[in-house]
């Protein structure tokens, strides 16, 4: 655990008692704070009381008379579409609002003078690929013999990790919900994978969403910034952070375009990753046969992870060897089975159109399991990949509406996962891929994308006789 510093003897309120909220409450208590908590659910409040915390309603101004700070969980709105009642009460009372990420950066590194090599923090944000990039960085570091911990939106709660050791690295996956509110953001290396529309209601539009991501770099002032420049937002961010063309504190990365100039660049073309510095190539890796990183979107993740690890002085061959043993993450281009020449791939995390597009472009001929709770903007952006689809098998509560947005694609209305997988498996020919890439949220039929992916895997096992 990372004890929270700066609140010894003070009253600190914690709103929301999920994983991050409880972790923050315990770390605050460990640092000497008196912690009061609130959650809207009876069960969460009961668990907190059993853990020795004082429960206090926080939706009234008088609740904050003795409170030094309010710590809120990332899923609770603090500004848009409207602030939670407790957060609004804190703001009216003049009480600062923070989250566990802010507490982490505020409290890390209390006594590092004893270390020969001070620990480092790599923070990864972006619209898609954050989890895979973070996990790949962690895997590379661990495989290379570096002490590494994975936390944030993936792995352990950020305050639940062990204090890093000499030369240790903490790898954090950070969502826009986390970067938007954290009062302290000071990573050594910050990574921006890519940018596409998502969470627009929470950030009041695309500009607010980008501003939340940008805070990690503008507020954090990292020593090195790894920036995906395949979208204009990344180009803009790299330009803002750089002092000139030769400024190698900014490492620009791309999947699909050659980059060049006097700076530091990492890019992939035709499956080959290239690193260029000061106008010359210094390394090249062949990604084409790395099973855990299929498709252009994973090659983009590989570029970002490679650049982050190179910024910590790992050698190119060390990184390549570690990438070859990377098996990927559940629900993200996860190869579930191969039966009679047909490959089954679970990409349930493809909850928006951009991530689904990248999943579809990764394979030449697809039996596509898709559908769910559609997000704003429709499915028009999928058009460049629809020629990869042999047939769509549509699930969700309103599959007909989803199918109507796939012009020119043969679509079968299935409704549920079991029917879709059974029909796709029966139709699939050797060399084809049965791919779950929903291009939609899961909440119309499942609690989360993980549950949806697990159901896909179970249905594949049943349909192929591997139960």
CA distances from 422 to 8, 91, 450 (A): 59, 53, 20
What pLDDT score was predicted for residue 277? Answer: 96
- Answer yes or no: is 270 a known binding residue: no
Q: Which of 275, 305, 324 is the last residue of a domain?
A: 324
- Answer yes or no: is 148 a known binding residue: no
- Answer yes or no: is 131 a known binding residue: yes
Walk across the sheet containing 334-339 and list its strands: 334-339, 342-346, 433-436, 366-370, 389-395, 411-415
- Answer yes or no: is 186 a known binding residue: no
- Answer yes or no: is 130 a known binding residue: yes
**For residue 136, what are the domain limits?**
103-324
Shared domain for 192 and 249, answered yes or no, is yes
Shared domain for 240 and 136, answered yes or no, is yes
Is the pLDDT at 467 greater than 70? The verdict is no
Shared domain for 370 and 403, answered yes or no, is yes
Tokens of residue 6, six digits: 């700066």
Minimum mean pLDDT among 51-55, 82-86, 377-381, 448-452: which range? 377-381
The CATH number of residue 421's host domain is 3.90.190.20
Q: Which of 56, 78, 98 is the last residue of a domain?
A: 98
- Check: CB of residue 292 under 8 Å from CB of residue 251: no
Q: pLDDT tens across 265-300, in order? A: 999 999 999 999 999 999 999 999 898 888 888 999
Walk across the sheet containing 120-125 and list its strands: 148-152, 169-173, 120-125, 189-192, 224-228, 250-255, 264-269, 272-277, 280-286
Total residue length of the chain: 467
What contacts 205, CB < 8 A, 6 or more positions away?
none
Q: How confident is the model at residue 105 (pLDDT cuts 50, 70, 90)?
A: very high
Shared domain for 313 and 383, answered yes or no, is no
Q: pLDDT tens across 323-365, in order? A: 999 988 889 889 899 999 999 999 999 998 988 998 999 899 9
In a domain, 329, yes or no: no
**Average pLDDT estimate for 167-193:** 96
Q: How confident is the model at residue 116 (pLDDT cuts 50, 70, 90)?
A: confident
- Answer yes or no: is 132 a known binding residue: yes
**Average pLDDT estimate for 116-143:** 95
Shared domain for 74 and 203, answered yes or no, is no
User: Residue 398's closest CA among 413, 376, 411?
Assistant: 413
Shared domain for 113 and 30, answered yes or no, is no
What pLDDT score was predicted for residue 199? Answer: 82
- Answer yes or no: is 258 a known binding residue: no
Shared domain for 210 and 275, answered yes or no, is yes
Shared domain for 246 and 286, answered yes or no, is yes
What percentage of the chain exceeds 70 in pLDDT?
99
Q: Which of 279, 295, 324 is the last residue of a domain?
A: 324
- Check: CB of residue 352 under 8 Å from CB of residue 370: no
What pLDDT score was predicted for residue 329? Answer: 85
**Average pLDDT estimate for 369-384:** 91
The CATH number of residue 288's host domain is 3.40.1190.10
Entry pTM: 0.86
Shared domain for 168 and 278, answered yes or no, is yes
Domain total in the chain: 3
């Amino acid at each position: 655990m990372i004890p929270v510093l700066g609140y010894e003897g003070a009253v600190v309120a914690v709103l929301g008692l999920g994983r991050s909220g409880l972790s923050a409450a315990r770390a605050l208590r460990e640092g000497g704070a008196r912690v009061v908590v609130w959650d809207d659910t009876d069960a969460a409040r009961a668990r907190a009381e059993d853990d020795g915390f004082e429960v206090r309603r926080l939706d009234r101004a008088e609740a904050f008379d003795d409170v030094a700070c309010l710590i809120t969980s990332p899923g609770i709105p603090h500004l848009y579409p409207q602030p939670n009642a407790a957060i609004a009460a804190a703001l009216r009372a003049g009480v600062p609002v923070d989250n566990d990420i802010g507490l982490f950066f505020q409290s890390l590194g209390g006594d590092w003078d004893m270390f020969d090599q001070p620990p480092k923090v790599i923070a990864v944000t972006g619209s898609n690929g954050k989890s895979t990039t973070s996990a790949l960085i962690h895997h590379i570091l661990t495989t290379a013999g570096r002490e590494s911990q994975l936390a944030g939106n993936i792995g352990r709660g950020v305050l639940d990790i062990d204090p890093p050791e000499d030369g240790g690295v903490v790898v954090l996956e950070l969502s826009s919900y986390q970067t938007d509110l954290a009062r302290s953001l000071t990573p050594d290396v910050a990574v921006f994978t890519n940018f596409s529309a998502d969470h627009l209601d929470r950030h009041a539009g695309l500009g607010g969403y980008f501003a939340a991501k940008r805070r990690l770099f503008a507020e954090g002032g990292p020593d090195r910034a790894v920036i995906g420049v395949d979208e204009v937002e990344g180009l803009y961010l790299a330009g803002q952070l750089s002092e000139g063309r030769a400024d190698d504190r900014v490492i620009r990365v791309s999947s699909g375009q050659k980059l060049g100039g006097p700076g530091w660049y990492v890019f992939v073309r035709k499956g080959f990753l290239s690193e260029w510095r000061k106008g010359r190539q210094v390394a090249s890796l062949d990604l084409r046969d790395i099973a855990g990183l299929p498709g252009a979107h994973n090659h983009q993740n590989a570029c970002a992870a490679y650049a982050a690890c190179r910024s910590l002085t790992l050698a190119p061959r060390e990184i390549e060897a570690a990438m070859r043993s990377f098996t990927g993450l559940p629900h993200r281009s996860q190869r579930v089975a191969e039966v009679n020449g047909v490959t089954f791939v679970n990409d349930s995390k493809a909850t928006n159109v951009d991530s689904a597009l990248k999943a579809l472009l990764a394979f030449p001929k697809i039996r596509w399991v898709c559908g769910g709770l559609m997000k704003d903007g429709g499915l028009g952006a999928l058009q460049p990949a629809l020629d990869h689809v042999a047939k769509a098998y549509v699930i969700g509560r309103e599959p007909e509406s989803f199918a109507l947005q796939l012009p020119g694609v043969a679509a079968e209305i299935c409704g549920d996962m079991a029917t879709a997988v059974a029909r796709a498996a029966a139709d699939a020919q050797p060399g084809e891929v049965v791919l779950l890439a929903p291009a939609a949220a899961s909440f119309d039929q499942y609690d989360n994308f993980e549950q949806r992916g697990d159901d896909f895997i179970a249905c594949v096992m049943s349909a192929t006789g591997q139960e």
